[in-house]
């Protein structure tokens, strides 16, 4: 069934921030007693908040100083201001959804400031403005609270909603909310989404086809 609303995660679904962020996290934790390879970050801290990274890192031996959360965000924001790439095909998928009369929103565990930094240069910030939700304000995934808030604000039922996420936390939030979920696994180990109920996809064009969107064959770009 074609949905009335598609909710996007941000990092790893709209913008390719994870390589930059994972390097900063690995370097930062290494200064405070926990050595982790960059490619292990996504496994050890899959899609949580930065605060939850600190909790898990402390369990593993990191001794983080007071104010560490502000310090690491300063590093992350500074790096992201140099620019990030859009996930392949996502701009065309958004165009196609809007051309088919389907509403869009964002549900991210990241802070609003980070999303503005990463989304504004491409124009995605303005396209989603007013429909951008952060787990810092509405409860982080895997809790379903943020998704319930979005659906209530937009007057759309769970059966009419689709979620696109690349992390277990987001897919589990969708599962808890009764929302159909596409798990984007073009990058990283697809096994991370096992047991989440997500339909695994390798591309944004595949999502358009699965939603039976008009124009999904070409994903023709119609800017609205």
Same domain, 46 and 102: no
Same domain, 42 and 67: yes
Alpha-carbon distance of 106 to 141, in angstroms, equals 12
What's the rounded mean pLDDT across residues 24-48? 86
For residue 8, pLDDT beyond 60 = yes
Same domain, 203 and 169: yes
Flag the least confident range among 89-98, 137-146, 150-159, 214-223.
Answer: 214-223
- Asked whether residue 220 is domain-assigned, the answer is no
pLDDT at 220: 39
96: Cβ–Cβ under 8 A, 6 or more apart, which residues?
208, 213, 215, 216, 219, 220, 222
What's the rounded mean pLDDT across residues 114-137? 96
Alpha-carbon distance of 203 to 219, in angstroms, equals 12
**Three-class SS state of 138:** helix
pLDDT at 45: 77
Alpha-carbon distance of 116 to 126, in angstroms, equals 9
Same domain, 145 and 165: yes
Residue 47: band (very low, low, confident or very high) from pLDDT cuts 50, 70, 90: low
Q: Which residue has the tokens 């989603």?
A: 128
Alpha-carbon distance of 165 to 14, in angstroms, equals 10
- Asked whether residue 30 is domain-assigned, the answer is yes
The CATH number linked to 33 is 1.10.150
Alpha-carbon distance of 46 to 218, in angstroms, equals 33
Pairing status of strand 5-8 against strand 161-165: parallel
What's the rounded mean pLDDT across residues 46-72? 90
Same domain, 59 and 125: no
Same domain, 98 and 27: no
Residue 46: band (very low, low, confident or very high) from pLDDT cuts 50, 70, 90: low
> Of 48, 80, 112, which marks where a domain is finished?
80
Same domain, 10 and 117: yes
Same domain, 103 and 141: yes
The CATH number linked to 137 is 3.40.50.1000
Q: Which residue has the tokens 């591309």?
A: 203
CB 121 within 8 Å of CB 147: no
pLDDT at 217: 52
Instruction: State the total domains in the chain.
Output: 2
pLDDT, greater one: 40 or 217? 40
Peptide bond into 142 cis (omega under 30): yes
What's the rounded mean pLDDT across residues 134-154? 97
For residue 218, pLDDT beyond 50 = no
Residue 41: band (very low, low, confident or very high) from pLDDT cuts 50, 70, 90: confident
Same domain, 65 and 130: no
> Of 27, 52, 80, which marks where a domain is finished?
80
Backbone angles phi, psi at 15, to 5 degrees: -130, 150
pLDDT at 224: 30
Same domain, 73 and 89: no
Flag the least confident range among 69-73, 110-114, 189-193, 211-215.
Answer: 211-215
Same domain, 126 and 190: yes
| Ramachandran region, residue 161 (left: φ > 0; alpha: ψ -120 to 50; beta: rest) | beta
pLDDT at 222: 34
CB 76 within 8 Å of CB 27: no
CB 3 within 8 Å of CB 151: no
For residue 221, pLDDT beyond 50 = no
Backbone angles phi, psi at 38, to 5 degrees: -55, -40
What's the rounded mean pLDDT across residues 197-203? 97
Neighbouring C-alpha atoms within 13 Å toward the C-beta of 2: 14
> Of 80, 100, 132, which marks where a domain is finished?
80
Structural domain that includes position 112: 5-16+85-210
For residue 1, pLDDT beyond 70 = yes
Supply the pTM of this predicted model: 0.84
């Amino acid at each position: 069934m074609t949905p009335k609303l598609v909710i996007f995660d941000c990092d790893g679904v709209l913008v390719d921030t994870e390589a930059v962020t994972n390097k900063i996290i690995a370097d930062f934790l290494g200064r405070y007693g926990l050595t982790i390879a960059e490619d292990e970050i996504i496994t050890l801290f899959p899609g949580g908040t930065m605060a939850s990274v600190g909790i898990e890192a402390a369990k593993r031996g990191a001794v983080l100083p007071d104010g560490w959360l502000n310090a690491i965000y300063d590093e992350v924001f500074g790096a992201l201001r140099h620019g990030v790439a859009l996930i392949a095909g996502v701009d065309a998928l958004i165009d196609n959804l809007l051309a088919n009369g389907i509403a869009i929103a964002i549900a991210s565990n990241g802070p609003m400031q980070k999303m503005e930094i990463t989304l504004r240069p491409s124009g995605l910030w303005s396209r989603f403005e007013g429909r951008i939700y952060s787990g810092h304000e509405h409860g982080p995934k895997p809790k379903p609270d943020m998704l319930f808030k979005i659906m209530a604000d937009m007057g759309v039922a769970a059966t009419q909603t689709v979620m696109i996420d690349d992390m277990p936390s987001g897919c589990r939030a969708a599962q808890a909310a009764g929302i159909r979920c596409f798990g984007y696994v073009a990058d990283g180990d697809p096994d991370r989404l096992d047991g989440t109920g997500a339909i695994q996809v390798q591309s944004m064009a595949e999502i358009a086809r699965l939603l039976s969107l008009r124009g999904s064959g070409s994903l023709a770009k119609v800017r609205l």
